Structures are given as C-alpha cells and as structure tokens.
Structure 1
Amino acid sequence: MKVKHIFFVLCICMTVFTVQAQEFKPVPEKKQKMSQRGEEPLNRENRSSEKDKTGKRKEYDINLYKIISHDRDTTIVDTTLTIEKDYKYNYLRRDDFELIPFSNLGQTYNNLGYSFDRTQALPNMGMRAKHFNYDEIEDVKYFNVPTPTTELFFKTAMEQGQLLEAFITMNTSKRMNFSIAYKGMRSLGKYQNILSSTGNFKLTANYRTKNDRYGLRAHFYSQDVLNNENGGLTTEAVSDFVNGVEEFLDRSRLAVQFQDAESILVGKRYYLEHDYKIVKQKDSLRDNNLRIGHTFNYETKYYIYNQDRENSLFGESFVATNLRDRSQLRKLFNEASLSYTTKTFGDVKFKANHTKLDYFFDKILYLADDSVVPNRLEGDVLAVGGEWRHTIAGIQLKADLLANISGELGGNYFTGRARYQLNDDAKVEASIVINSKAPNFNFIVNQSDYMDYNWRNNLKNERTQSLNFSLKSKKWLNADVSFTSLDNFTYFSGLTPDAQVAPQQSEDAITYLKVKVGREFRYGKFALNNTIMYQKVGQTGDVFNVPELVTRNTLYYTDKWFKKALFIQTGVTFNYFTEYFGNAYSPLLGEFYSQNQQKIGGFPRFDVFINAKVRRTRIYFKLEHVNSSFTGYDFFSAPNQPYRDFIIRFGLVWNFFS
C-alpha cells in the first residue's frame, strides 16, 4: 500500500505543477526588499495567480495561504530560508534539539529533555520509543488556500534508501479545503540488521458554511513503523568501536546482539469534529452565539515483536523458535459540547465524553504455577469538563478542565494559560499543568513469549504538576523555564545489573527544573545562533535521568548571489551534552528503561552545512558529524547503541502554487 500511496500523491503533485503552475514574474530589483535571513517581501514574487472568468489574472498574497493547528492557531505557508528551517530539516520535520537520534534514520531517539505540557486523563498504549514519528491528533494541521499548494520534501538516508514527503492541498471553494500527504522512508543503515521503513499517509478536510453556522474538520491517518532490531552492539564490539579498531570502521563487521528480530507499530485513526451555531446574535453592542459540537475519534494500534530464535538477552522463553509478541489497542471516543460566547465572558464550553478502551493480546498465557496472565483490559469511561477562553486588557486567557467520573481508570487534568503581547517583537506566557492518569497499558499488563516479560500490576495514578514561563523576542532572547513535580513516576527499570527489565513505580517525588535560552547575535552577513538548556533533577536513585547541560551553537554566513537570484546560507553547528546515565533501549518492549551502569554523552558533534534558496526551492547540503574520526569514537545515543559516523546528506524542499 505504501508504494501505491506515494505513487498516487506524486502523480497528483506533478500533474498540478505541469498543467497549472505559473511562472512568477519578479518585480524590478529596486522594489525588492529582502533581509539577510531570506525573508520575502510582499510583492509579485511572493504571490500566486490564476485567471478569473474574464481571463484577467488574479493575484493572491502569500498571507492568504493559511495553516490551522488543532488548537485553531493560524500561521501562513512559509517559504523563507532561515536557520530555524535548517534545524527542522530532518526526519521528524521539527526541531530535535532535545533528542539524539540512533544511528539509522527511522529508528528511535533518546530524550535529552522532557516536556509535560500535553495532558490526558486516560493512559496510552505504551511502546513510547516507537512514537517519535507517530502524529497524534494535536499534530495534525488543516489548511485554507486560495490556489492549489504543493510541497515536496526529499532527503537522502543513511544507506540504500531515501526520505520523501509529498503534500498537496486545495480549496474546492472558499469554504471547503482538503489535503493529501504521504511521507515514506526506507534506510538500510550502517550496522547489521538495522533496516528501517516507515510510512505516514494523511487525508484532511476543513469546511464551513457560507453563513458560518456549521463547521467541520476531519482527517484519516494511517501510520506504520517497521524496524529490524539488533539489540545493540555486543560487549566485545563496543570495545572495538570505542578503540577505533581499523577493521571495524566498516560498521557492518561489528557484532550485534541478534540478527533475527523485527518490530512493527501500525496505527489508523478516523477523526471528525463539527459544530453548529444554534443562536447567533451580532450587532454593535453584542456578539453572542450558542454552539453545539461533537467530536468523534476511532483509533486502532498494534505492536508486534518477531524473533526467529530465543535470545539469552531476554532470559528464558516458552518456545525456542518463531517468537511473536503482539499487543493491540482499540479506542472509540465521542464527545458532546455546548459553547456560549459573549464579549463580556468570552468563550465558555461545557463538554462530556465517553471513551471505550480495549487493550488486548492475541493469546492466553498459562504459567507454571497455573496462574493466568490476562489477555485483555477493557472498559468504558465517562468524563465531564469545561473550557474557557477570553482576552482581558490584552491578556489572552485559557483554561481547560476534565475529570473521569465513571469507570475503573480514574484521571483528571487542569491547564491554565495567560499570554500577553508586550510589543510587536516580544510576548510572554505563563501556564500551569496539573494531570493525574493511570500509567500506560503496557506497564499494567504485558504478555510475551519470554517468561520474565509477563506481568499484571496494580499501579497508582501518575501525578504531574508543572509551572511554565516563556519569553519570545527576536530582539532580546527566547527563554523557557519549567518546574515539574512528578509523583508515582512509572518507568521501566534496568537499575539492577543482570536483572530483566520490569515496570517500577517511584515511591518518592521527583522534581525537574528545565531552563532553555536561545539568542542570536548578528554582525553584517554573519550570525551566531545559540541555544542552551540547563536541567536539574531532584530524586532518590537514578530513576529520571537527563544531562545537566545541552547546547547547540551555529556560526553561519548569509548572502545573495547572482544578482540576488540565489540566497546562500552556510556555516557550522556545534552540538554537545554532558555525560549522564542515558536510558537504554529494549526492542522487545519498544521502550527505554532507566539504568545506572553506563554513561553516554560528553562528545562534541560538528555539522557543516551549505543551504541555498532559489525562488521557492530550498536546497540543503550537510556534512554530519565531520569530527567523528578525530575526536574519539566514544559517541553513543544509548548504551550499546552508537551515534552516527561522518556522513554527507543532501536534499530539498520545493513549494509551488498553482
């Protein structure tokens, strides 16, 4: 199906481009004003066009090409080339400053920092190491564009493969938009049995009636992640790697834990939200409306771990060959809401929802002591809550509250936020997050062909309280400060040497302080972009581990060449994080686990890049980890999992408007 999807999307994109795309005529040079950051002026070069009924050409400003988030915040399609775009030019299509990737594209990432701003009253499936490229409901964007808009993303992979994303959106009318996108990736990797193959296929729709009374947003999302798993390097291979033994500079010669395993995560989601204004009054004195809404979500996921033969890394197994663990989650969600909006009280919403959860395995296990590991957790949960939004004296206020009132899975959350625009450049924001929910399902129950990986636990709700402050200013700095308290923190433990990984719950509270500051300094055509993060954890033991300091510094040069037809951006990026007991990876569980036997970090990473922009095409060329061969081979993303050697990668992002 992945081949069909990507072929279909590419055919649409290329057809639209070939048949409908118009060449933009640049305005005279004296009328163009473009900064050294590659920002585009609002002129003819920055407009799309089409013919109206009279045959005359209509023009559209780029500001009309809108991207709408799940929270209904609106941005515009951005075709500029900035250093922030370079940071987001990766597999995840977002800034991965707080992550360090594994050696192959499409594998998992280890966390260098954590955020607790997303709230939920119900547990997730688990297998969190497999969800970095898995888009949740909050990650889906909707669009509103005056003409068909297309984006092609391409980047080379690590070995024998490519990364490609094709996207097109169009409005069939001023009120109806749809989009289709597919991101596909395949990469063999440098080590044995480490192939990755992923696919993300997405359809969205966004509609409002002419009188603005009825509105609808919907999407379908199919996502899959397939990884060959090798368990990391053996102890002897780690020694050969660190010592830089010449024979093993060909990484495919290094011995790995096993070569016969693979993991697969597949998810499909059908999502719809719509609302209708049953009362609408608008005049010079009042602007009131009463709105009813409904949200529907049906999502299925399954995770499979296959292995040809048992391996002592995970202990004894019930069967010696053809091991197969499969877990699955089905979630059906319906919510009804009633909203009332006035100028005096803002937007007040009352909501009630019902969730049916079904987490199950494909077999029933009978243990030697005649006990049975349950193969299913299911139930119905009812929840009620409310939301409030208002702007008072220029301060944007938002609050959201939800509590489960029936069912075995208790949970609740509260979020409050205040945002204020100080001036055209700077804005400040403060928020509070309080969340209580049951641990993920794979902490509570698990079944496996490996004997030690079967459990049924009664765990307390995890409780999180977080205070967050931020300042955003291009002139001064960007700063984010968060202080989080974690109670009943649930984790997978590998803190006891030679013991099997198992779920644990911390009896003591954990405190977590994170301070992240960003500032760019410019001098002529040169710039120095800096991001520094400081973290401090208060805990008993080595349960919640993060590096104390993480930094990224980029020195780069920008200019316009060839009569300003080419915008160039070139420089070097330095990345570093201090040593810490980084979490180790378990492919059997699809999870990271806490350990205190091996530290990672303390190694520098230098990336040299040359980026260019020609009209709406951005070209990227990067020499990643250029210092790998002369600053030592002690670089790991996780225990026994090496980071990437020096590699040259390139690609482009191409936007065009019909």
Structure 2
Amino acid sequence: MFAKNIFTIFLVLFVVNTMYSQTKLSTGNVKRPDNPFGEDTSAVKRAKGFKNVASIDMYLQFNTEVDTSIVDTTLVINKHYKFNYLQRDNFGLMPFANIGQTYNTLTYNPKGKSLMPLFGARARHFNYYDSDDIKYYEVPTPWTRLTYKTAFQQGQMLDAFFSVNLSKQFNFSIAYKGLRSLGNYQNALTSSGNFRFTSNYKSKNNRYNARGHIVMQDLLNQENGGLQDVDLENFETGNEEFLDRSVFDPNFENAENILVGKRFYLDHSYQIIKKNDSLDSNNLYINNTISFEDKYYDYTQSSSETDYFGDSFTNEIKDKVTLENFQTKIGFLYQNDLLGNLSFNLNYTNLNYGYNSVVLIADELIPNRIKTSFIGVDAGYSKEIGALKLQGTAGLNLSDEFSGNYIDANLTLKIKEDISFGGGINITSRLPNYNYLLYQSDYINYNWYNLDSFKNINSQQLSVYLNSDKYLNAKLDITNIDNYTYFNLDATLDGIKVIRPTQYDKSLQYLRLKLEKELKFGNFALDNTVMYQNVVSDDDVLNVPALLTRNTFYYSNQIFKNAMTLQTGVTFNYFTKYNMNGYDPLLAEFYTQNDSEYGGFPRLDFFINAKVRQTRIFLMAEHFNSAFTGFNFYSAPNHPYRDFTVRFGLVWDFFL
C-alpha cells in the first residue's frame, strides 16, 4: 500500500512538473559567475519561447545549519567514493557481504553536540536519515535525480528525488530511496525504504523563513548470526564446494530485525529588526524549532536459539523497544557587523523510551520505561575578522537525571586562497545510549537496568587541520575519554557468547592522524587517503586498526569531441590486523572482543565511470582479487566480506 501511495505521489509530481515547465516564470537576466565545478559548464534551457537560461550554479541546497552548496553534476573521484548505499564517502567503514547490511567501524570519533542518549540498535542507523542529514532546496526550474545501483542476487537500489519551486518563495522536494537485496548467504535479505518530504518558504520581504520535513523510514535485515565455527575452515581454504556461498549453513535462519522511524520537523524564524541600509549594522531574528520523532526497533525469531544467545523465557522471540522524543526550542539570533553573530535558545525535551512490561530475574526487577522531561539552553557565537573566522556553540541540560553539556569551538585562518589552517576543541558530557541504560529481551542474558549506576561519558578533543589542494589536507585530533561505555564480550560459556554493557572506570587517550593528497600526472592521477590511529589505555576496550589506507590510481579525460568524460582506474583499500569488533544481531550492535585478530587483507576494485551530459554511469568490479589473495577477508568475526562481483549504476539528472 505504501509503495502504491509513493507511485501515486510521483505520478502527480510528474504532471505538476510537466505543467510547471510550460509556465512562464522569469528569473531576470542571469549573470553567470565563475563555474566552481571546472569541467561542468552545463546550462539548463527554459521551455520553448523563453529567453532566459538557468545555469547549474542557480540550483542550491542547504541543511539545518544553512550551509549552502551548489548542486554538483560533475564526475570527479569523490563522486566515485560516494556512489554507494550510504551515498557518502565510506572511508573508515567496513561493509558486510550484502548491500543494506551494517558496517563495522574502523575508526571512532566521540566528537558531537548531542546532550541526549541516542536510540539503540546503532548498527541499523547507518542509512537512517537524522535531521542534520536532510537538505532543503531552491531551484529555478524543476529538478529530478534518479540514482540506481544493482544489488546482490535478486534486487536493486533506487533513489528517486524531485524538487520544484512553485514560486520564488516556496520550494518543496520529495524523495524515496528503496532497496531490496537477497544476498549471497542464507537468510541475509535486506529491504529498506527512506521517504523524505521537505519544504522551504521565505516571505517576499525575506523577513519570515520556514523549513520543514517529514521523514518515514523502515530498515529491515534478516539475520543469520554469521558462519558457524566449523565452517570457517571451508571458507578460508577456498573449498570449491563452498564457493557458492548459499550452501553454507549459518548459525540460524529464522531471525530478522527492523528499525522503523518517522519524524516531523519545523524550523522557522522571523526578522524583528532588519538592516535597512549600509550604515545600519543590526539584524535580530526570533526563531523556533519543533521536532517529534517516533521510533521502534523490533527483533523477532520464530524459535529461540539457546545455543547462541542462551536460555529464553519463551520459545518464540519477540523483542520490541520504542522511543517517543519531542523537542522544541525558542530563541533569538543577533547579527552585528562589529560584534559578530550571537544566538541563544531555550530548549524543552519530553521523552518516553522502553517496553510494555517489567521483568523479574533472580529477584532483580527490570523496569520497563524511562520517561522524563526537562529544560535546556544553548548558545552560539561567530565572527569573521579578515582572514580569521571564529565559531563556537555550547549547550547544557538543566536536569539532574539527564545531565549533559557540550562546548564546540573552532578557529580558522585563511592564509592564502588555497591554504587554510585551523583548530578546534570539543568537550562533551552525556549519558550512554538508551540500550546501555535499559534493555529487555525474551533471552534471559539480555536484560539489564543501569540508569542509576552508569555515569556520563566525558570526552575532550583537541584538533588541528591544514587544508590545501595544492599541498596536503591533514587533520590531527587527540581525545581523552572518561567512562567509555561499550558492549563487551564478558565470557563464552558452553559456546554461548555473553554480551553485556560495560563502563570503563579509567581514562583512555585516542590519537588520529588523517592525510589526503592527490597527485596528478597529465590525465593520470593518484588519490591517497591514509589514517594512523593509536589508543592508550590499560585495557583493550577500544580497538581500532593502527593504519588505514585508500589509494586510487585512475585515468580521466574528455573523449568523443568532449561529449563524454571518462574515468577509469583501480582502488586499493587496506587496514592492518586488529581485534575487530564482533556483531550481535539481537542488539544490532557491535561488541568488543580480544580473542581473534582480523584484517591485513587487500581489497582491489576496478572501475569505469563516465559522464554524458547530466548522466553519470558507474561500472565496478568489486574485490576482484578475492580469489587469488586468500579467503581471509572478514567484515566481523564469523561474517565474511563479499566476494568478487561486478555491479552497475547511474545517476541521472533532469533539469526542465
């Protein structure tokens, strides 16, 4: 029914699109600035009978922070890195065998501005659109983008997007990203849908602005627990009888989990004091944000697997946890040419997290709900003085039970047009995620309540960076973490892994150094990204590989009388061996284990990409070295990475 409704909506939009393309909307004389995309000099002609032309730099997109960028239709190496399920650069993430499954994280960044715990099942959230992920648009003509990519065995991924300005003041966009992929292993099907609707409005005098979105998402995965221990030898030796991965018997074939969420969001402001002339230096806005999000995570299993998860209360497993989160804030933004920009907001949060009933285990009562409401405040300041830019924000929860605070400050100095240097400090303190504090399951081992015993996670991060396309992009950050909280493999009893939330009572220090540099030799280029990491602690509680590298050697040129851009090459991915985190399908979380090391295997991908007009075509032979460099590639313990496969995809833009 939902799919039929989506089809109906897109059919209506197609009719509106066609009608709109015949409507006389004038944008005035277009004076095109320097094209920021180099090779892309495309322009979109108006419908027949119109003199004006809309250039690509008139198609704008921005996020909740109002960071504006121009729609980019070029074919550069960064587009190759972003053409994946997440549609962003996934350096530092290790994909699982099937598209739409989770990712193992090869790096860790505690930096953030969140004052609240996060909803659990973080392994399901890689493709979950939060408020900061939503973009709003302003376009001179209707714009449609179709993104398609083949999947594994049966299925495909498609992201269909449409945006239109019904007037100069009002824009709306609608999009749906759908995926279904059977996968090469038993009981590994993935099926997901991400529906997004956004609107952007500004009054004719530009004093009132409003942005809002509605997002509905469902992310379903069948879970099999990975390969059985007895089958690991058959996989690693390359036994010909098991090259068809569907013949493996996984740990179980009767489980699935799903994350479902919907969110309604509105951010609007009104300009009380408006700068009237060049001598007037004051602007004052009053703003209000309202957000309501309803989420649930569900794990079902037709019969309990006591040999894998331990004893259970019932034979049929049905675990479900919900979160209702309402947040609103009201405040002001003051802008002064001399003093800078200053903002202040008063926040209100009401949350309801938990389960339908309490649990009694060995005379210990596990409650079913965490319910609370409280007030908070946040403030921000920014100022530019010549080439120097200062920006900072801070927030505080006025609650004893849900205490939290953060300070985030950054200083940037633009030395030359191509060289900028900066640094920042981020200090955060907040409770661990909800599933560390309270969890209930039909499996007896997965019941706990830690709200009264777990302390806030405190982190302090200092970072410095240098950005220069000509010389080098480099970033160094050093982080100290107190009360680091993680899921830990406590013990293995009779083959059963006991996973428990644990809070580390000592400090640990974490260093990361990331270097990026592209070397060009005529039409050839070598793009390099390298990261070094080191964790200093008395115990192995935060495990990351010491070295990650991604190196792409490719050829790029204009062919067929400049009618096509061709890009072809090989990408090399590698990370050193380390105690890779394990995956728990019931929690949909990763846990720390120190029994086995994984990694140290290369991943080679050959690609041919092309661009014709506004269409970008991607063809990739993924992990083509899998058969001759050894079958020791894993995404997590007992979860092999994908074998060699050829996949095709495209991104097609329509400008009417």
For normalisation by structure 2, the TM-score amounts to: 0.94
Q: Secondary structure at the match of 1:84?
A: helix
User: 1:516 & 1:12 partners in 2: Cα distance?
Assistant: 47
| Alignment partner of 1:511 out of 509, 515, 520 | 509
Q: CA deviation at 1:67?
A: 1.0
User: 2:377 & 2:19 partners in 1: Cα distance?
Assistant: 51
| Alignment partner of 1:333 out of 315, 320, 327 | 327
Please say if residues 39 and 81 of structure 1, whose CA atoms lie closer than 8 Å, have aligned partners that are also in contact: no
Structure 1 pair 472–4 and aligned structure 2 pair: CA distance change class (3 A) = farther
User: 2:210 & 2:444 partners in 1: Cα distance?
Assistant: 49
- Residue 104 of structure 2 is aligned to residue 110 of structure 1: yes
- Residue 424 of structure 2 is aligned to residue 428 of structure 1: no
Structure 1 pair 284–20 and aligned structure 2 pair: CA distance change class (3 A) = closer
Aligned residue in 2 for 1:590: 588
Aligned residue in 2 for 1:377: 370
User: 1:563 & 1:621 partners in 2: Cα distance?
Assistant: 22
- Residue 312 of structure 2 is aligned to residue 309 of structure 1: no
- Between stretches 6-15 and 241-250, larger displacement belongs to 6-15
Q: How does 1:8-27 map to 2 (within 5 A)?
A: 8=8, 11=11
Aligned residue in 1 for 2:569: 571
| Alignment partner of 1:440 out of 430, 433, 436 | 433
Please say if residues 402 and 414 of structure 1, whose CA atoms lie closer than 8 Å, have aligned partners that are also in contact: yes
User: 1:164 & 1:426 partners in 2: Cα distance?
Assistant: 39
Deviations 1:35-57 (A, max 9, x none): 9x984354xxx1123259xx332
Structure 1 pair 561–10 and aligned structure 2 pair: CA distance change class (3 A) = farther
Aligned residue in 2 for 1:182: 176
Deviations 1:126-159 (A, max 9, x none): 2111100011111111111111111100000011
Aligned residue in 2 for 1:40: 39
Aligned residue in 1 for 2:647: 649
Q: CA deviation at 1:12?
A: 5.6
Aligned residue in 1 for 2:550: 552
Aligned residue in 2 for 1:164: 158
Please say if residues 354 and 438 of structure 2, whose CA atoms lie closer than 8 Å, have aligned partners that are also in contact: no
Tell me the amino acid that sits aligned with residue 535 of structure 1: Q
Aligned residue in 1 for 2:27: none
Please say if residues 5 and 182 of structure 1, whose CA atoms lie closer than 8 Å, have aligned partners that are also in contact: no
Aligned residue in 2 for 1:30: none
Q: CA deviation at 1:283?
A: 2.5
Please say if residues 9 and 182 of structure 1, whose CA atoms lie closer than 8 Å, have aligned partners that are also in contact: no
User: 2:489 & 2:58 partners in 1: Cα distance?
Assistant: 53
Runs of at least 4 residues off by over 4 Å: 12-22
Aligned residue in 1 for 2:500: 502
Deviations 1:356-415 (A, max 9, x none): 01101123223343x321000010121112111111232221111111113510000110
Structure 1 pair 214–471 and aligned structure 2 pair: CA distance change class (3 A) = same
Q: Secondary structure at the match of 2:445?
A: helix
- Residue 464 of structure 2 is aligned to residue 465 of structure 1: no
- Residue 478 of structure 2 is aligned to residue 479 of structure 1: no
Q: CA deviation at 1:429?
A: 2.8
Instruction: Structure 1: state its 5+ residue gaps.
Output: 23-33
Q: How does 1:38-437 map to 2 (within 5 A)?
A: 39-42=38-41, 46-51=42-47, 55-311=49-305, 312-320=307-315, 322-369=316-363, 371-437=364-430
Structure 1 pair 173–645 and aligned structure 2 pair: CA distance change class (3 A) = same
Please say if residues 490 and 498 of structure 2, whose CA atoms lie closer than 8 Å, have aligned partners that are also in contact: no
Q: CA deviation at 1:558?
A: 1.2
Q: How does 1:595-614 map to 2 (within 5 A)?
A: 595-614=593-612
Please say if residues 413 and 435 of structure 1, whose CA atoms lie closer than 8 Å, have aligned partners that are also in contact: yes
Tell me the amino acid that sits aligned with residue 595 of structure 1: Q
Structure 1 pair 469–15 and aligned structure 2 pair: CA distance change class (3 A) = farther
CA RMSD of aligned residues (A): 1.9
- Between stretches 326-335 and 65-74, larger displacement belongs to 65-74
User: 1:206 & 1:19 partners in 2: Cα distance?
Assistant: 21
Instruction: Structure 2: state its 5+ residue gaps.
Output: 23-33
Q: Secondary structure at the match of 2:166?
A: strand
Please say if residues 336 and 353 of structure 1, whose CA atoms lie closer than 8 Å, have aligned partners that are also in contact: yes
Q: Secondary structure at the match of 2:416?
A: coil
Deviations 1:418-471 (A, max 9, x none): 223333323233211100001111101111000111111120000011112222
Q: CA deviation at 1:183?
A: 0.4
Please say if residues 51 and 57 of structure 1, whose CA atoms lie closer than 8 Å, have aligned partners that are also in contact: no
User: 1:78 & 1:441 partners in 2: Cα distance?
Assistant: 38
Structure 1 pair 154–180 and aligned structure 2 pair: CA distance change class (3 A) = same
For normalisation by structure 1, the TM-score amounts to: 0.94
User: 1:38 & 1:146 partners in 2: Cα distance?
Assistant: 19
- Between stretches 478-487 and 195-204, larger displacement belongs to 478-487
User: 1:346 & 1:5 partners in 2: Cα distance?
Assistant: 48
Deviations 1:84-121 (A, max 9, x none): 10000000000001101000010000001122332211
User: 2:347 & 2:37 partners in 1: Cα distance?
Assistant: 47
Deviations 1:285-308 (A, max 9, x none): 222122111110000110000011
User: 1:355 & 1:570 partners in 2: Cα distance?
Assistant: 50
User: 2:447 & 2:649 partners in 1: Cα distance?
Assistant: 45
Deviations 1:238-289 (A, max 9, x none): 1110111111101011121100000010011100111111222332322212
